[in-house]
């Protein structure tokens, strides 16, 4: 467990070193927007205020942006249950972009599509399941070339093995497998 916790910290520090503030990025992007395509893109991201790496990869490779953008952060609290009415926060960012934070208790089932459907009555956001795509970032951990990395060699190997065998975010968040796009990068820790 210590290897997992320490490895995740090293991974998040390495990936987070290149984070860009979301509002600044969107302001620059919308000044000269790429082609907008129909539908909703939901970008899952650990931080509510930074640009998801999946968005950067999607723009770099596909050079398009969906009509509606949802930047989604899911938080799991140490409380067992979070009431439904306290689970959602929505911040409009302009240009049909929204920052959404969903909060679940550790015993709640984090069903993201169902929670997003719950945004409709309260916030006026509707989600057409077949017009919504979920974008996830996936990091593949590769051996460090540095002599002094964040982990000792044996811990790095163990963490790489643990990461490869970790559960899927698609299953954990109950995302429809046929609507998920995973964009990844190779990361040395």
Neighbour tally for 149: CB within 10 Å? 16
Cα dihedral 85, 93, 173, 67 sign: positive
Q: Which of 136, 175, 169, 177 is nearest to 54 (CA)?
A: 136
- For residue 130, the 8-state DSSP code is G
Spatial distance between the Cα atoms of 41 and 173, rounded to a whole number of angstroms: 16
Structural contact between residues 11 and 156, judged by C-beta atoms closer than 8 angstroms? no
Residues in a beta bridge with 98: 70, 92
Per residue in 121-156, pLDDT (tens digit) is 778 888 999 999 999 998 888 877 765 667 888 888
Structural contact between residues 175 and 112, judged by C-beta atoms closer than 8 angstroms? yes
| Residue 65 domain boundaries | 2-188
Angle at which helices 153-164 and 2-16 cross, to 10°: 90
Count of structural domains, the chain: 1
Does residue 25 surpass a pLDDT of 80? yes
Question: Residue 73 phi/psi, 5° resolution?
Answer: -120, 130
Question: Distances from the Cα of 135 to the Cαs of 7, 86, 160, in angstroms?
Answer: 24, 25, 23
Q: Residue 181: what pLDDT?
A: 95
Q: Residue 149: what pLDDT?
A: 62
Per residue in 62-95, pLDDT (tens digit) is 999 999 999 999 999 999 999 888 899 999 999 9
Q: What is the pTM of this model?
A: 0.87
């Amino acid at each position: 467990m210590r290897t997992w916790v320490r490895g995740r910290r090293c991974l998040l520090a390495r990936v987070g070193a290149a984070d860009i503030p979301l509002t600044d990025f969107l302001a620059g992007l919308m000044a000269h927007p790429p082609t907008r395509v129909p539908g909703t893109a939901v970008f899952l991201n650990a931080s509510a205020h930074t640009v998801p790496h999946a968005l950067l990869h999607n723009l770099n490779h596909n050079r398009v942006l969906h009509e509606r953008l949802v930047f989604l952060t899911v938080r799991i609290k140490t409380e067992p249950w979070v009431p439904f009415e306290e689970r959602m926060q929505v911040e409009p960012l302009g240009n049909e972009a929204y920052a959404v934070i969903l909060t679940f208790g550790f015993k709640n089932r984090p069903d993201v599509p169902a929670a997003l459907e719950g945004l409709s009555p309260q916030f006026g956001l509707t989600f057409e399941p077949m017009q919504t795509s979920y974008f996830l970032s996936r990091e593949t951990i590769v051996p460090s070339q540095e002599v002094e990395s964040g982990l000792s060699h044996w811990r790095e190997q163990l963490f790489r093995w643990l990461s490869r065998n970790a559960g899927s975010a698609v299953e954990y968040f109950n995302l429809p497998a046929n609507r998920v796009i995973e964009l990844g990068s190779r990361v040395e820790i």
